[in-house]
Structure 1
């Protein structure tokens, strides 16, 4: 393999030397050689093998980064969130199970690991979250090996840029503060959609810390907050409202009904998403679109919601639901029911761009979540390598680089790595 470039050059030059008028072809030969040099100089894709899987953590273990290494010195990068704390040994176990396999067989490896974990929790949670990070890294590695972006491996793209809504992280505040923050976000960064939280465990009007029923004063507080947001941003900016699954079905109906005059893009998870029938009661009671799914896993987890029309919009988290291939399967399943696909996203820019490749590859994409911390916390620029701007006028420019197009910056990540946790060792 080390002699490959010189062999190629020798072959080209000998071929040209045998032609008449060599001097006239010198520039052509140089151009052809340059073109060849730009191609992937690794050995045949069929010879690729996984040699190791290593990981690192930030945010108290709730952000997992993995690197999948190969025998051709191509490395894939992946990320998972939330259900990842304490999963170092799970990463190691899965890594041992995939060593020696060809990383281009992404679906096969995913299915091998998932099936082997049938009695180890492979239906969801930590098992699937860790597998998500590894699966994403395999797509990244495959794209680099074949010199194409991930969206091309997923079947091509429907769009060149990915619309996002900004989770403002300025929620559960007085109405005037939330309205002001909404206007700042829209004016400063040109977002066309924003999201605010309205669940507040410290609301003095709650009946008690464990009662999930919304009372009149609490409901009025919610309506006042989002009314202020709507008045601040006007009618042409979409508003998403999150309840974090902390209420009961009756409360979900009441809040959704009260929000109807504000024309929300959606009301998010008024109740936990495990009970599809309960969601259907809420969805059928209101014209406010209902969205759910950030804590569901695999396409199987979304089937009940879609099958009975329980929600208007689905929002899988692509950094824990099963990976990029599984995310496309979820989106395609939703598309059969004409349900929009609006992924949840609380990861780094690596996870955001990985999600963007999926969003580009499906027809029913609606919008992707974006976090205000990308603008306020320097960590999120330091822990990754990327080209250009992260976001332009409320859209992520889709990377055309091989693989995901964003990589882990080990030097930057090490500054924020969790203590007493492995760091790519």
Structure 2
């Protein structure tokens, strides 16, 4: 089965644009992949288009093609190139699975677990009052989720004022009191703090029994991450912005994380995700994929994670539901905080092609950690 055409689509979804890759074959099979990053969407699409002429007419041999894309160009890895390669690789897996009438997870050796736990994110934005955090968290639990993640730190970083520190703790306390002890809460820091501040935060939030503290220091500084981990009794999670298997090797060999968060859109695709998970497994580290992306990436993450014996939990975003549900003909079914991998071939989803052009690209940039924080678009 040979590649005959590769197209990219930019789909507007509230505060980012999903980057979707459509791959056609000479057998009439179409595969889909996703390379959403939150910014630089046109740059990622351009990288996919730059790779495309080297792929048209080639037999779909996934390992051979990804090795070629990763090794046969002078510039390697980095967020743009790795994200473009990830999207192409997912689309190849989808096409091969559809051709063989097998789910991708079966092509990877079969499932290690029958269901995946998920945690909610993207359910609150711009709020300051602890009560608003608590109300949003309760609403998530009413939807059936047993775990949720939020960033309580506002615009703070790399240090935090006493006032902002107290405000953050009040938000966490409000959420914990609202949802009770049987719901897991993850605390997000987005890699903003220095080591001393991060350690102080880890110690202060310990009483609320968080499931993890995520990226307390910049993810590129593995030595600093290890220092925080060694000082913290709260599990440390990181890895969403690591864009190669090699960087995860550095992280794991340094014993700098309790939980790793590879993103199937950025790490190099499904096979690279599997390599990273295997390295984590031999180091007794759990895998909890980063996944603020669209439904195609979610499907790819489900297939990859379901084969992993050290799978912990999958991120599941609640924003932009109109766009998300329009992109696929049957959406994911979550029950009691878990979802079950589809038995359908390929990635297990059927893309609604009309939706690829319905939600036109919008130029946007979200200032995550400034006093001018804004949430773009319709949250329906």
Q: TM-score, normalised by structure 1?
A: 0.81
Note the aligned Cα RMSD (angstroms). Answer: 1.7
1:404 maps to which of 318, 337, 347: 347
For 1:35, the equivalent position in structure 2 comes to none
For 1:252, the equivalent position in structure 2 comes to 198
Q: How does 1:65-76 map to 2 (within 5 A)?
A: 65-76=20-31
Q: Distance in 1 between matches of 2:44 and 2:314?
A: 27
Moved more, 376-385 or 273-282: 376-385
The answer as to whether partners of 2:116 and 2:314 remain within 8 angstroms in 1 is yes
Q: Does 1:148 align with 2:105?
A: no
Secondary structure of the residue that 1:166 maps to in structure 2? Answer: strand
Q: Distance in 2 between matches of 1:76 and 1:168?
A: 28
For 1:85, the equivalent position in structure 2 comes to 42
Q: Distance in 1 between matches of 2:334 and 2:315?
A: 12
Q: Distance in 2 between matches of 1:336 and 1:289?
A: 18
Shift of 1:393: 2.6
Q: Distance in 2 between matches of 1:343 and 1:177?
A: 27
The answer as to whether partners of 1:77 and 1:407 remain within 8 angstroms in 2 is no
For 1:113, the equivalent position in structure 2 comes to 69
Q: Distance in 1 between matches of 2:337 and 2:297?
A: 17
Secondary structure of the residue that 1:137 maps to in structure 2? Answer: helix
Moved more, 376-385 or 224-233: 376-385
Highest CA radius of gyration, 1 or 2? 1
The answer as to whether partners of 1:168 and 1:185 remain within 8 angstroms in 2 is no
For 1:8, the equivalent position in structure 2 comes to none
Shift of 1:215: 2.3
The answer as to whether partners of 2:35 and 2:44 remain within 8 angstroms in 1 is no
Q: How does 1:346-365 map to 2 (within 5 A)?
A: 346-365=292-311
Q: Distance in 1 between matches of 2:65 and 2:184?
A: 39
2:273 maps to which of 307, 312, 327: 327
Shift of 1:390: 3.4
Q: Deviations over 1:168-188 (max 9, x none)?
A: 43155211111121111101x
1:58 maps to which of 11, 16, 30: 11
For 1:297, the equivalent position in structure 2 comes to 243
Q: Distance in 1 between matches of 2:252 and 2:307?
A: 20
Shift of 1:73: 0.2
Secondary structure of the residue that 2:112 maps to in structure 1? Answer: coil
1:129 maps to which of 83, 90, 110: 83
The answer as to whether partners of 2:19 and 2:45 remain within 8 angstroms in 1 is no
2:2 maps to which of 32, 45, 49: 49
1:393 maps to which of 320, 333, 336: 336
Q: Distance in 1 between matches of 2:99 and 2:258?
A: 39
The answer as to whether partners of 1:62 and 1:81 remain within 8 angstroms in 2 is yes
The answer as to whether partners of 2:236 and 2:257 remain within 8 angstroms in 1 is yes
Moved more, 278-287 or 401-410: 401-410
Q: Distance in 2 between matches of 1:276 and 1:57?
A: 33
Q: Does 1:101 align with 2:58?
A: yes
Secondary structure of the residue that 1:408 maps to in structure 2? Answer: coil
Q: Does 1:222 align with 2:177?
A: no
For 1:192, the equivalent position in structure 2 comes to 146
| Structure 2: gaps (5+ residues) | 364-380
Q: Deviations over 1:134-188 (max 9, x none)?
A: 000000011011110000011110122211100143155211111121111101x
For 2:377, the equivalent position in structure 1 comes to none
The answer as to whether partners of 2:97 and 2:345 remain within 8 angstroms in 1 is yes
Shift of 1:419: 6.6
Q: Distance in 2 between matches of 1:81 and 1:89?
A: 13
Shift of 1:62: 4.0
For 1:379, the equivalent position in structure 2 comes to 323
Shift of 1:307: 0.6
Kindly tell me the number of residue pairs found equivalent between the two proteins.
Answer: 358
Secondary structure of the residue that 2:288 maps to in structure 1? Answer: coil
